[in-house]
Amino acid sequence: MSKPKYFTVEQADDTVIFAAIGSIGGLVEDAARTEWDALLNQVDAANATHAIIDLGALDYFGSIMLELLVVLWKRVSAKGGKLALCKVSPVGLEILHTAKFDTLWPIVADREEALEAVKG
H-helix or E-strand containing 58? Answer: none
Domain membership of residue 1 (yes or no) is: no
Nearest to 23 by CA among 68, 69, 52, 55: 55
Residues of the chain short of pLDDT 50, as ranges, are 1
Domain membership of residue 16 (yes or no) is: yes
CA distance 1 to 35: 9
* Domain span at 105: 7-119
Domain membership of residue 57 (yes or no) is: yes
CA distance 85 to 65: 12
Percent of the chain whose pLDDT exceeds 90: 50
The predicted structure's pLDDT at residue 84 = 98
The predicted structure's pLDDT at residue 36 = 76
Domain membership of residue 59 (yes or no) is: yes
Nearest to 101 by CA among 39, 55, 34: 55
Nearest to 105 by CA among 91, 89, 88: 88
Asked if 47 contacts 17 with a C-beta cutoff of 8 angstroms, the reply is no
What CATH number is attached to the domain comprising 11? Answer: 3.30.750.24
Count of structural domains within the chain? 1
Domain membership of residue 55 (yes or no) is: yes
Domain membership of residue 56 (yes or no) is: yes
Domain membership of residue 2 (yes or no) is: no
The predicted structure's pLDDT at residue 38 = 78
pTM given for the model = 0.87
